[in-house]
Amino acid sequence: LAGLAVGFWKDRRELEEKWKVGRRYEPQMNEEERARLHSRWRKAVKRAKGWERDAN
C-alpha cells in the first residue's frame, strides 16, 4: 500500500492486477495446542507488564 501512497501504482486496481501469491502457509497446530500456548503467552505478558513499575 505504500506504493499507492507515493504514486508507484496509480490505483488499487493496478496493484491487484500485479499481485500474486508467492507462498501460502497453512497452520499445522491443532486448536487445543494453540489455545494452550496462547494462554501461556497471555500469562507471560501480564507478568511482564509489572516489570517497569517494579524497577522504579
pLDDT reading at 50 higher than 90: no
Instruction: Provide the pLDDT for residue 29.
Output: 96
- DSSP readout, 4-42? HHTTSSSSHHHHHHH---S------S-HHHHHHHHHHHH
Q: What is the mean pLDDT of residues 35-43?
A: 98
- Write out pLDDT tens, residues 18-33: 888 899 999 999 999 9
Instruction: Provide the pLDDT for residue 15.
Output: 87
Query: Which of 24, 20, 1, 23 lies closest to 12, judged by CA?
Result: 1
